C-alpha cells in the first residue's frame, strides 16, 4: 500500500509518525564515495569508534539532532535555491553587511559623493560650521547612505540609496530664481534681500527635514541604520597609538605614494600647478627621517624583488611626492567627452582637483604613449558632460574658462573638505595632534614592525607557546580549541529543548 493512500485517511496526530517513516536516514542518501572505496563507515573519521569524543553526551546529542533533521535541511535548502525570486537574489547581492564600525566601508560610501551627483546649497547658518547636525557627505555616509546616478548623463543630484535596506531618498533644495537668456521678462527687480532671505528660510527648513530622514525616517522600519550611526571618534578620526590604526594609515599612505611614484613622469609636468611653498619648501630633520623610513617600507612591500634598481630611483624622487601621499592625495584619470583629465583625489573626503585644467594635451598624449600607470580603481568611469556648464563651440568642455575663474595654485593642505580627517586632529581627548603629524611620527618609529614581505607585524601573545617542540604546541592549541567548542555546545544545548 502506498504511503499517500495511508496519509489520506490518517489522523493529523499520526502525520508526524508517517513523516518519520518516509524520511530516509542520513547514511542512506549520502554517496558511498564520500566514505571511500567499499562504502565502509569506519573509513570516515566521523564514524570512527576510536574517536575519543564520540561518547561525549553533547556530541551524541547534536549528532542525534543532525540525523533527525539532515534530510529535511538539504531538501529545504534545495527548494529555497530554486524558488527564490530573482529580485530577492539581486537584493542579497547588492546589499552589504551591516557593519557600522568598518572604516573601509565608511570611506567607500564617501567616495560615491562627487560633484557630478551631489550638491547642497550653502546656508548662512551652516557656513564655517561642521557639527553633528550638519547635512553633508559625511553625515549621509555614516548613516548608511551612498550617492548614486542611474545613467552617465543623468543630471539628478542628491539621490541617496541605503546600502542595507535599499531605500531611496532624493534631496531637493531651492536654488532661487535664475533668469534665462531667452526670457523677455527682467527679473532683476526680484533680486532683493527679502527674496533671498525667503529662499534661505525654505532651505533651512528642508535641511532640518532631510536631516531627520537621513538619520532615521528615510530607512525602512527594519533597517538597522534607524537605530545606529557610525561613530566618528575612533572610526573616521582614528585613535592614535593602536596597531590597527597604524596598519591602516601605513597601508593607505604607501598605496598613495606608490601611485604617485609610478606616474612621476606625468606628475612632474604639473609641479607648477602646486603652491611654491609646498613644492620648494625646506624640510626639517624629522621629515628626512620620515622619507628614509617611507622608502624602506615601500621597497619591502612593493619592490621587494627589485630593491637595488628602485632604491636608486627613490633618491631622485621629489620631496613633495611624500607630502602629497601623506595628505591622502593620489592620481586618477577620467574622460569628459573626448578629453582625458587628470585629477588629484583625497582618499578620505573624495575632494577632486583638476590638474590639467589649462591644457589636456599632456594627459591625452600620456594615455597614447602608455605612460600612465594606474590601477583599475584609479581609472574613473567616463562622463559625457563636464562638471562646469561651459562648453566650447564643438560641445567639448571648456577647461580654460574654468581656469580663468580659479587662477590660484593648488594648496594640498587647504583644498580638503572642512571635515576631512587628513587635515584634522586624531581622535584624542588628551591633546590635539594632526593626523599627518602623527603619521610622520609613526612611520619613523615603525622599523620594528617591518615584516619580511613588507607587512605590518604586531607582537603576538606568546602565552600558548610554552613548549619548544612544534608537536606539543599544536597539541596544546588543539586541546584549547576542543574545550572551547564543547563549552559552546553545552551552552547551545539549552536552546535545543526538543522532546528531551
**Which pLDDT tens digit goes with each residue over 198-245?**
777 888 888 889 999 999 999 999 999 998 899 999 899 999 999 999
Indicate the average pLDDT of the chain. 74
pLDDT of residue 252: 96
pLDDT for position 200: 76
* Confidence at residue 18, expressed as pLDDT on a 0 to 100 scale: 64
Whole-number Å distance between alpha carbons of 316 and 318:
6
- Tell me the CA end-to-end span of the chain in Å, nearest whole number: 33
The whole domain housing 50 covers 3-83
Q: With a cut of 90, say whether residue 146 has pLDDT above it.
A: yes
Bigger pLDDT: 114 or 178? 114
Same domain (yes/no): 297, 323? yes
pLDDT exceeds 70 at position 110: yes
Please name which of 489, 488, 461, 466 lies closest in space to residue 476, comparing C-alpha atoms: 466
Cα separation, 298 vs 296, whole angstroms: 6
Which residue matches cell numbers 525616517? 217
Q: For position 487, what pLDDT does the model report?
A: 62
Q: Distance between CA 263 and CA 267 in Å, rounded?
A: 6
pLDDT at 473 over 60: no
Q: What is the pLDDT of residue 405?
A: 35
Query: Does residue 292 belong to any structural domain of this protein?
Result: yes
Read off the pLDDT of each residue in 100-128 and give the average, rounded to a whole number.
84
Same domain, 79 and 108: no
Q: Tell me, yes or no, whether 351 and 401 share the same domain.
A: yes
Q: Is residue 49 helix, strand or coil? A: coil
Kindly report, residue by residue over 339-390, the tens digit of the pLDDT: 788 889 999 999 998 886 544 455 555 555 556 778 777 788 776 655 544 4
Res. 63 pLDDT band, cuts 50 70 90: confident
Question: Same domain, yes or no, for 122 and 13?
Answer: no
Distance set, CA 198 to CA 122, 175, 195, 390 (Å): 14, 11, 5, 29
Do both 198 and 336 map to the same domain? no
Do 253 and 141 lie in one domain? The reply is no
Instruction: Please indicate, yes or no, whether residues 79 and 99 belong to a single structural domain of this protein.
Output: no
Burial class (CB in 10 A: 0-12, 13-18, 19+), 322: buried
* Per-residue pLDDT, 428: 73
Residues 381 and 488 in one domain: no
Q: How far apart are CA 167 and CA 145, in angstroms?
A: 9
Identify whether the C-beta of residue 325 lies closer than 8 Å to the C-beta of residue 260: yes
Same domain membership, residue 110 and residue 58: no
How many domains does the structure of the chain reveal? 4
Q: Is the pLDDT of residue 75 over 50?
A: yes
- Poorest-pLDDT segment among 37-46, 173-182, 227-236, 248-257: 37-46
Whether 431 maps to a domain, the answer reads: no
State yes or no: pLDDT of 275 exceeds 50: yes
Residue 322 lies in a domain: yes
One domain, residues 73 and 163: no
Strand partners, 379: 333
Point out the least confidently predicted range of 152-161, 243-252, 307-316.
152-161
Q: Tell me the whole-structure pTM to 2 decimals.
A: 0.66
What percentage of residues in the chain have a pLDDT greater than 90?
A: 33
410 pLDDT more than 80: yes
Q: Does the residue 438 lie in any domain? A: no
Nearest partner of 61 among 498, 356, 417, 387, judged by Cα: 498
The arithmetic mean of pLDDT across residues 100-116, rounded, is 92
Asked whether residue 449 is assigned to any structural domain, the reply reads: no
Give the DSSP H or E segment for 334. Answer: strand 329-336
Res. 489: pLDDT tops 50: yes
Q: What is the pLDDT of residue 201?
A: 81
**Res. 72: pLDDT tops 60:** yes
Number of CB atoms found within 10 A of residue 282's CB: 7
Same-domain pairing of 13 and 67? yes
Domain end position, chosen among 45, 63, 83: 83
Is 457 inside any structural domain?
A: no
The per-residue pLDDT for 485 is 63
Q: 218 with 249, same domain?
A: no
- Given this model, what pLDDT does residue 147 score? 94
Position 474 pLDDT exceeds 60: no
Amino acid at each position: 500500500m502506498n504511503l499517500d493512500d495511508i496519509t489520506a485517511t490518517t489522523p493529523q496526530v499520526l502525520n508526524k509518525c508517517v513523516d518519520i517513516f518516509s524520511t530516509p536516514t542520513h547514511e542512506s542518501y549520502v554517496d558511498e564515495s564520500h566514505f571511500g572505496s567499499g562504502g565502509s563507515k569506519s573509513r570516515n573519521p566521523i564514524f570512527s569508534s576510536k574517536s575519543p569524543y564520540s561518547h561525549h553526551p553533547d556530541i551524541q546529542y547534536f549528532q542525534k539532532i543532525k540525523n533527525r533533521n539532515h534530510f529535511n535541511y538539504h531538501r529545504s535548502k534545495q527548494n529555497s535555491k530554486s524558488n527564490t525570486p530573482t529580485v530577492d537574489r539581486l537584493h542579497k547581492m547588492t546589499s552589504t553587511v551591516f557593519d557600522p564600525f568598518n572604516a573601509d566601508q565608511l570611506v567607500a560610501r564617501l567616495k560615491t559623493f562627487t560633484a557630478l551627483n551631489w550638491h547642497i546649497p550653502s546656508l548662512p547658518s551652516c557656513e564655517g560650521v561642521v557639527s553633528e547636525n550638519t547635512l553633508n557627505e559625511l553625515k549621509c555616509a555614516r548613516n548608511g547612505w551612498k550617492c548614486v546616478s542611474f545613467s552617465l548623463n543623468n543630471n539628478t543630484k542628491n539621490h541617496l540609496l541605503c546600502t542595507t535596506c535599499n531605500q531611496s531618498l532624493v534631496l531637493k533644495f531651492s536654488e532661487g530664481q535664475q533668469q534665462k537668456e531667452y526670457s523677455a521678462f527682467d527679473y532683476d527687480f526680484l533680486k532683493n534681500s527679502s527674496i533671498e532671505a525667503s529662499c534661505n528660510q525654505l532651505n533651512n527648513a528642508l535641511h532640518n527635514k532631510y536631516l531627520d530622514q537621513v538619520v532615521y525616517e528615510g530607512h525602512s522600519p527594519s533597517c538597522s541604520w534607524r537605530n545606529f550611526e557610525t561613530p566618528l571618534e575612533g572610526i573616521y578620526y582614528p585613535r592614535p597609538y593602536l596597531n590597527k590604526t597604524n596598519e591602516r594609515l601605513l597601508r593607505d599612505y604607501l598605496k598613495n605614494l606608490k601611485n604617485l611614484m609610478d606616474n612621476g613622469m606625468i606628475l612632474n609636468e604639473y609641479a607648477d600647478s602646486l603652491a611654491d611653498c609646498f613644492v620648494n619648501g625646506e624640510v626639517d630633520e624629522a621629515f628626512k627621517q620620515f622619507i628614509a623610513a617611507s622608502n624602506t617600507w615601500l621597497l619591502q612591500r612593493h619592490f621587494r624583488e627589485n630593491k637595488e634598481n628602485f632604491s636608486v630611483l627613490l633618491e631622485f624622487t621629489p620631496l613633495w611626492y611624500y607630502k602629497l601621499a601623506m595628505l591622502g592625495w593620489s592620481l586618477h584619470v577620467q574622460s569628459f567627452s573626448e578629453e582625458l583629465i587628470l585629477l588629484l583625489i583625497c582618499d578620505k573626503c573624495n575632494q577632486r582637483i583638476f590638474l590639467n585644467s589649462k591644457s589636456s594635451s599632456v594627459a591625452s598624449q600620456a594615455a597614447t604613449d602608455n605612460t600612465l600607470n594606474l590601477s583599475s580603481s584609479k581609472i574613473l568611469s567616463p562622463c559625457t558632460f563636464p562638471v562646469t556648464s561651459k562648453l566650447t563651440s564643438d560641445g567639448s568642455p571648456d577647461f580654460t574658462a574654468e581656469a580663468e575663474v580659479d587662477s590660484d595654485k593648488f594648496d594640498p593642505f587647504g583644498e580638503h573638505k572642512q571635515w576631512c580627517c587628513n587635515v584634522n586632529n586624531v581622535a584624542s581627548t588628551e591633546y590635539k595632534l594632526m593626523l599627518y603629524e602623527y603619521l610622520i611620527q609613526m612611520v619613523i618609529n615603525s622599523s620594528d614592525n617591518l615584516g619580511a614581505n613588507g607587512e605590518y607585524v604586531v607582537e603576538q601573545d606568546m602565552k600558548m607557546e610554552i613548549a619548544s617542540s612544534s608537536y606539543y604546541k599544536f597539541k596544546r592549541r588543539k586541546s584549547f580549541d576542543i574545550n572551547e567548542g564543547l563549552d559552546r555546545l553545552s551552552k547551545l544545548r539549552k536552546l535545543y529543548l526538543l522532546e528531551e
